[in-house]
Structure 1
Amino acid sequence: GRVTAGNAAGLNDGATAAILASESKAKELNLPIKAKMVSFAFAGVEPEIMGYGPVPSTIKALKKAGLDITDIGLFEVNEAFAIQVLSFLDHFGIADDDKRVNIYGGAIAVGHPLASSGVRLILNLANGFKEQPEVRYGITTMCIGLGMGGTIIWENPNYKGDK
């Protein structure tokens, strides 16, 4: 696909913060646990196809976690450009209107404040986990420049199910 101003997220100001802590420390400090990190991975592709980086990073993260894409119940895929999300979904055989993807809208809808989008993805996923306790695992992923992709697999601390 083509990357143009018409299918790209607007750059805007924003600020986010997150606390990453061990489960024991979070409990000791009485902090809410919104998601548990299962695995993460980074991978790269040729810079000319820079938006494709989340595909190999997701493959690596799934392998490290011993999971398959079918185990994932929610996806937060940063969409600095529409083609990034579409190529990710296409690779994994996920429909472009799948209700598990970017459930609160992506960066084209809400903006893409630099150095803030990663935390926004995690918070969106955590809110999705709270609303959907039947979902056990979720993914946050993004292109991080020059062909690199980063993916984190998270577990829902609210999970109520037998899977």
Structure 2
Amino acid sequence: TPVGKFLGSLKGFSATELGAIVVRESVKRAGVPAEDVDEVIMGCVIQAGLGQNPARQAALRGGLLPAVSAVTVNKVCGSGLKAVMMAAQGIQLGDTDIVVAGGM
């Protein structure tokens, strides 16, 4: 997702709204059918006020099916990187094939 500044041009968007844009565009640009995505793993540093499981919200708003699992990683500055690491590990182990991962 884009990096903004306090009260900057992105202030009207929640993290989950930005995450949904990224999920939708990542799947579209990769040329992957939405139904082929196995999981969404997204880091989110400040979850206060976003509701339950921001990664799930981003996945659903991003056009993925309700059957796609999603997990939110909260690890302060390293949450997005940890999300990508978890996705890579799942693929390496053969647990998943296609994962959308990042930070929001």
TM-score, reference length from structure 2: 0.65
* 1:63 to partner: Cα distance: 1.4
Which residue of structure 1 aligns with residue 41 of structure 2? 76
Give the alignment partner of residue 119 of structure 1, picking from 74, 81, 88: 81
Within 2, Cα distance between the matches of 1:86 and 1:140? 12
Q: Percent of pairs identical after alignment?
A: 10
> Contact 2:73–2:82 at 8 Å: present in 1 too?
no
- Which of 12, 29, 43 matches 1:48? 12
Segments of structure 2 that go 5 or more residues without pairing to the other structure are 4-8
* Residue equivalent to 2:32: 67
52, 61, 73: which is aligned to 1:106?
Answer: 73
CA distance in 2, matches of 1:141, 1:85: 10
Instruction: Using the TM superposition, name which of 80-89 and 118-127 deviates more.
Output: 80-89
Render the CA deviation track for 1:92-144: whole Å, top value 9, x for unaligned.
3426xx6x323xx621xxxx231x2222111111221233x26321111322x
- Displaced runs of 4+ in structure 1, greater than 6 A? none
Contact 1:75 1:139 in 2 (8 A): yes
Aligned alpha-carbon RMSD (Å): 2.8
Provide structure 1 residue ranges, at least 5 long, that are not aligned to the other structure.
Answer: 1-41, 144-163
Q: Distance in 2 between matches of 1:43 and 1:113?
A: 17
Name the structure 1 match of 2:66.
94
Contact 2:41 2:70 in 1 (8 A): yes
In our comparison, the structure showing a higher alpha carbon Rg is 1
Q: TM-score, normalised by structure 1?
A: 0.45
CA distance in 1, matches of 2:13, 2:36: 27
